[in-house]
Amino acid sequence: MALTWRAVVLAALGVVPVALVPVPGTALLWTLVVLAVCGVDAGLAASPRSVAVSRTAPGSVRLTDQARSVLTVTNAGGRRLRGLVRDAWQPSAGAGANRHAVDLPPGESRRLTTVLVPTRRGDRTADRVTIRSYGPLGLAARQASLTVPSVLRVLPEFASRRHLPSRLARLRELDGRAAVQVRGQGTEFDSLREYVIGDDVRSIDWRATARRSEVVVRTWRPERDRRVLLVLDTSRTAAARVDDAPRLDASIEAALLLSALATRAGDRVELVAYDRRLRARVAGANGPRLMPAVADALAPLEPALVETDWPGIVALVRERLSQRSLVVLLSALEPATVESGLLRVVGQLTDDHVVVLASVRDPEVAELRTGRGDAAEVFDAAAAERGELERVAVAARLRRRGVEIVDALPEDLAPQLADRYLALKAAGRL
């Protein structure tokens, strides 16, 4: 039961009889009139429970893209339905204009489209569909909320994909497909071809040259079919906000760019998200199936407020990988947590694999370091410097254990991690 502005007008019209017969009884009588008319009007409204509703929403949409939630409303009752339908979603699903006026004769259907512009990654669920059915006079309405479940998976934005073309170009240079040869020590022998001026004389194959009339050089290509394992740390350090987004989001961007790059480079990419237990895993997907699988696995990840179980991660890595691989740990370079966790077990990883630790640096700390305004700011600057020194120290200890460190601001992490991957590949260390 709900009233409309017309009911207010009807109540206000009671001023006329009150003016004619100015006793309190008139007002009370008019109250009864208003109640009766509104009751009859609501009683004559079509039942909102005799309306069939179904919702169609796309399974997933990338953050910042639009999605359309379509409600199909069918009047299954015997009365004409004049009303208002609200397609409720979580606020972060970004359902803007979600109230639709409907006028449905019995038996007919309408499609009501609500445009969703999600504002957060993850699974956004639909709430109830509320139908308000007005009576013939439009004074009062009946209302019911129907549960029509629906989930929209909002995939990570992958804003770092703008860095992909330049990195792919660098990859082609490595690959021998481009004009310039970039050669590393650990690359694989590809083919023999004629020497042209500008080639490295050290790459001349003298034995082949002796058999033929012209000078022949060996060409190389980077190793392929290496394995890359991305480990996302979803523990409490991933929950802290950097630049108004959780650290995890920057890690996800970096993971997406590296996955895209590595799969184009012909490597096999696996991904796990872990804190004290496995949160997500992508394995066995290659080529064009990889990126959708990675995005889908990363979309619903939320940081858990627990400490990372580093021995568990090491056990997981050893279980997944048998040959030498690239292990990328997307975590935080927090001196306290690294010292008590990662440093103790990282040796077991670096013995068998190439390990890269990618960490999000906080631009706010860099800002604090330059504060000289008053005593409080200088103390903050000193604290920031101390924290930075500790980060440098713990990074140095990790490097001594053989861990590569990528420590970058949120928007730089993805390209820098990709560059580090390319550098490792060029150096043939994979």
- For the record, the structure tokens of 386 come out as 């101390």
Please report how close the Cβ of residue 364 comes to another protein at its closest, in angstroms: 4
Q: What character string, x for contact with another protein (CB under 8 A) and - otherwise, covers 300-329?
A: --xx-x------------------------
Q: What character string, x for contact with another protein (CB under 8 A) and - otherwise, covers 173-212?
A: ----------------------------------------
- For the record, the structure tokens of 75 come out as 């009047």
Size of the site for another protein (CB under 8 A): 82
Q: Measured between alpha carbons, how far is 26 from 1 in angstroms, rounded to an integer?
A: 26
Name which of residues 132 to 171 contact another protein (CB under 8 A).
132, 143-148
**194-199, long-range: CB < 8 A, 24+ apart:** none
- Residue 381 binds another protein, judged by CB under 8 A: yes
- Residue 40 binds another protein, judged by CB under 8 A: no
Q: Which of 306, 315, 383, 423 binds another protein (CB under 8 A)?
A: 383
Binding segment toward another protein, per CB under 8 A, in 163-171, 175-183, 237-245, 273-281:
237-245
Say if strands 151-155 and 188-194 run parallel, antiparallel, or are unpaired: unpaired
- Residue 293 binds another protein, judged by CB under 8 A: no
- For the record, the structure tokens of 2 come out as 């709900």
Name which of residues 71 to 100 contact another protein (CB under 8 A).
76, 84, 86, 88-92, 99
Name which of residues 44 to 73 contact another protein (CB under 8 A).
49-54
Q: Is 354 exposed, middle or buried (0-12, 13-18, 19+ CB in 10 A)?
A: buried
- Residue 409 binds another protein, judged by CB under 8 A: no
Q: Measured between alpha carbons, how far is 234 from 228 in angstroms, rounded to an integer?
A: 19
- The answer to whether 35 and 11 have CB atoms below 8 angstroms apart is no
CA distances from 293 to 156, 160, 299, 328 (A): 12, 17, 10, 18
Binding segment toward another protein, per CB under 8 A, in 151-159, 227-235, 282-290, 373-381:
373-381
Name which of residues 334 to 363 contact another protein (CB under 8 A).
362
Cβ nearer to another protein, comparing 1 with 169: 1
- Residue 105 binds another protein, judged by CB under 8 A: no
Instruction: Provide the residue type at 347 as one letter.
Output: G
- The answer to whether 404 and 326 have CB atoms below 8 angstroms apart is no
